[in-house]
Structure 1
């Protein structure tokens, strides 16, 4: 069960807002009493305005997850980091602090892929061309099919899958932590991230490309599902990942294409994979790194 806390804040002083940054604090670990209090007390003592709190109890896994979104003066960033480290040691929680208000550098992307090369290539090329104002910091995969892309674009490559393609999800998160990743881009990465991984990078940091129109066509075969009900319009969806798979309320971008009646399914899939999906993901990632959209209480918020 997710517990969301909506906090009524006083009207901010406009001068104070000029000197505040948004920070997202995530905490994941074994569930027991008193885990939320230290985090809430920490940020309030630092003078932060709390704009969002979400907590999740995975009863079957005895796992606690929490997201706290705050507005904090930039000169308290080090204090926040030190306090988070102290709480982590004391409680055993895995705690991360991150700000979407990135300054003096480009956002760092981890591009995850499995078999298909069209979508990761499109993101890499858009980064190289400056269409996406970010840095492709690493490529991560549970297979070897896309390794040549990393070599072509001179991006560090990491394989996290075993011989059967089963991914080591903890290794994925460790790589992202070590390379100070801002956004994880799932470019047709054909593995489902576990809740613990999603919560560690919660708050609009995981971007996914689904090869169908959400919420109508979730699942692994959206082209075939749409074809089965005689659709003539097909599409792709770029959305933020939240613990509910393909939930549909976190859509960053959707793109569609129409086909004449009688078009074979193979031709539809080929057009979608080679043309529509790459374009959809590139525009979605561009919007996120440009700060045009963010995630708030698991809903898209347009900032422009």
Structure 2
């Protein structure tokens, strides 16, 4: 019986030195794997090397990962190996603004996002009908500031019970605790409705209006305990002018929010992002 050929993505980073690409390519060649696509980047500011390799082969993920460990240890690599046939599980969190949620659900149903949406969590009941129309489990956990830790534990239970790989905050308008952020390092994507690092925190469109900006934007970033300070994944901008009031800015800014968040989710699901300290390397 002929072995089934599968596709994999290898992501890795390590201190830059001669021979990394040669070693990785040799490892794959020795196992009969065929490199389909490769992209690399050397960051001269910190002497780190980053590479994404998409390849095909007949070995199992477990065997390849087990055998790659020795090479990874020799170069002190931070790495991950993923089977592209497996859709990452995701939990989407939302409050009362549903445009990003609606956009992600439509893109998913249209086959544009290679993810498995396993649950939607909200602190309001508003989007239960939308979730039901897509046949996705919906959990409403209202926020009581005196019991916020308990509410976050219920959210974490959903993430763990659904075996979800990452979380998307699609305009989830709550400040997360340090503990929650620590549990999801590199696995929680937020959309902030401004072009960070400008206009952090609440009411960024009003802040932008007061400053008379000529472009507004949206920023998708990984969540950290520092509010709106996480590594930036992607950004979108829209030109505006003096005639736009804060409400108008917010209305037109929603397009940028949807696009920036959808791109970030897609790149994360396709294993195109590597953390680089407080920044990211994104192989598009």
TM (norm. structure 1) is 0.67
Secondary structure at the residue paired with 2:218? Answer: strand
Instruction: Return the match for 2:109 from 128, 136, 157.
Output: 128
Residue 269 of structure 1: aligned partner: 250
Instruction: Return the match for 1:253 from 228, 234, 247.
Output: 234
Superposition pairs of residues 1-304 of structure 1, within 5 angstroms: 13-14=23-24, 15-16=26-27, 47=70, 49=73, 70-71=78-79, 101-162=82-143, 167=148, 168-202=151-185, 204-247=186-229, 250-273=231-254, 275-303=255-283
Deviations, residues 141-164 of structure 1 (Å, cap 9, x unaligned): 111122122111111111222467
CA drift at 1:16: 3.8
| Count of residues in correspondence between the two structures | 229
The answer as to whether partners of 1:112 and 1:140 remain within 8 angstroms in 2 is: yes
Deviations, residues 209-238 of structure 1 (Å, cap 9, x unaligned): 001110011111110001001112111111
The answer as to whether partners of 1:207 and 1:238 remain within 8 angstroms in 2 is: yes
Q: Distance in 1 between matches of 2:243 and 2:201?
A: 24
CA drift at 1:192: 1.6
Deviations, residues 67-92 of structure 1 (Å, cap 9, x unaligned): xx844xxxxxxxxxxxxxxxxxxxxx
Where does the alignment leave 5 or more consecutive residues of structure 2 unmatched?
A: 1-12, 32-65
TM (norm. structure 2) is 0.71
- Of 282-291 and 180-189, deviating more is 282-291
1:165–1:303: structure 2 CA closer, same or farther, 3 Å change rule?
Answer: farther
The answer as to whether partners of 1:116 and 1:146 remain within 8 angstroms in 2 is: no
Q: Distance in 2 between matches of 1:17 and 1:220?
A: 49
- Of 9-18 and 99-108, deviating more is 9-18
Q: Distance in 2 between matches of 1:246 and 1:210?
A: 7
The answer as to whether partners of 1:9 and 1:51 remain within 8 angstroms in 2 is: no
